[in-house]
Each structure stands twice: as structure tokens, then as C-alpha cells.
Chain A
Amino acid sequence: DTAVSQTPKYLVTQMGNDKSIKCEQNLGHDTMYWYKQDSKKFLKIMFSYNNKELIINETVPNRFSPKSPDKAHLNLHINSLELGDSAVYFCASSPNSGSPPRSYEQYFGPGTRLTVT
């Protein structure tokens, strides 16, 4: 019973290409997130959607565009890929309803390792 799933798990592509990563959660959560983890394991939030509405948009290049067709899905599309985009991208979800702190607890997907050559 996968809670937060991401596809693909590995993605190797060349500079300049456009690629998408998909994320789905079956937890009934209201909020979903995209994080980028670099080679030093630093984790930085990129975007967050609550019920299909963008609520967090950190300083991320315009080449990155999230799309949330429904509250169970949050996809990440990346245009004109660059070497510096190589990282592990994590999707996460949280209830954001009910009582904190459990309502803020985030459940993470297994990650997508993106390698740009």
C-alpha cells in the first residue's frame, strides 16, 4: 500500500531536454510538496500545493513548473534541463487539517534521482 509514490525512480537525460516527474498520494491529504536534495543531502523546498492551489513557491527558476490536476497528484515539469538540476527530487504530502503537530507531518515519496549529462 504505497502512500506517496513517484515515477520514475531514476531519470538520466541530456542538457536542454524537457522532462516530467509524477507524484501521487493515496492518503487523502490536502497538501503536497516538491523538495530538491542536492549531493550534500541538503533538502530545500521548491513548491507546495494545497487543494490544487499553489501556496509555496520558493526561489526556483521558471524552467520548473508544478502542476496539480487534482489534490492527489502533483507533477513537476522541468524545461531546458541544466547540469545543476542533477539531484534527488522528493514529493511529500501532509494532512494540514485536524490537530497539529500531526496535521503538519509530512510523508515522503521514495525520490526521483535526476542525472543531467
Chain B
Amino acid sequence: GEDVEQSLFLSVREGDSSVINCTYTDSSSTYLYWYKQEPGAGLQLLTYIFSNMDMKQDQRLTVLLNKKDKHLSLRIADTQTGDSAIYFCAETFFGNEKLTFGTGTRLTIIP
């Protein structure tokens, strides 16, 4: 079965790094995504990673994938107030139109 878990809440001081974690259970997952949901809005894709990669960096975002432990993380460097949002990880595999979303992590920035 597919079950994607995240911590529900994370608080970080402005300027520090945020690390949002995700654990998935479907070993056939091929593609993993991070989405951001700002208050009152829909989800926006931030970044994605193939399951044959260990790391992907995109400006302030770094995605780390530990396939052995089925653990995915999103690091946001120099966290800003505009990063306040709910972050969802999601997984799918080749040939599957369905994305399975995690429970979401609410990131709060402390001034």
C-alpha cells in the first residue's frame, strides 16, 4: 500500500535553514515531488527528484533522498517569511497518473 507521512508542524527562525521530512512506504515510487501551499491558495510545485538520484539542488532548495530508508527531505536555506506555508511531499511511479500526497507540514517562521 501507499502511505506518505510528514511531521505536521515545524517552526524556524528567520534566516535559519528549514528541513522538512517525508517518509514513504511504496518501494516502487519513481518520482517524488515537493509542493507548497500558501494560505488560501492551491498547491504549487516546488521541485521534484527521480528515485535514482540522491540529491537535487535548486537555488535555496535542496532535496535529499535516502531510498534505502524511503526518506525524503526538503531543506530551505535562509528561510524567509514568504516561506510560511504548508509543504506536501508526493510520490508516484511510471505509468501511474495518481500522485499520493503526504499529510503536509505547516512551516511557521519566527521573526
Contact = CB atoms under 8 A, between A and B. Distances in A.
Interface of A: 4, 31, 41-43, 45, 48, 50, 55-56, 90, 92, 94, 96, 100-102, 104-111
Given A41-B37, A101-B50, A111-B42, 12 more contacts: A43-B43, A43-B88, A45-B99, A90-B42, A101-B33, A101-B92, A104-B92, A104-B97, A105-B48, A106-B45, A110-B41, A111-B40
A106 B97 CA distance: 10
30 contacts: A41-B103, A41-B104, A42-B103, A42-B104, A43-B43, A43-B88, A45-B98, A48-B97, A48-B98, A50-B97, A55-B97, A56-B97, A56-B98, A90-B42, A92-B43, A94-B97, A101-B33, A101-B48, A102-B48, A104-B31, A105-B33, A105-B45, A105-B48, A106-B43, A107-B45, A109-B42, A110-B40, A110-B42, A111-B40, A111-B42
Nearest to B41: A110
A75 B15 CA distance: 43
A96 B97 contact: yes
Contacts of A105: 33, 45, 48
A56 B92 CA distance: 14
Chief secondary structure at chain B's binding surface? strand
B24 interface: no
Interface of B: 30-31, 33, 37, 40-45, 48, 50, 86, 88, 92, 94, 97-99, 101, 103-104, 106
B97 A108 contact: no
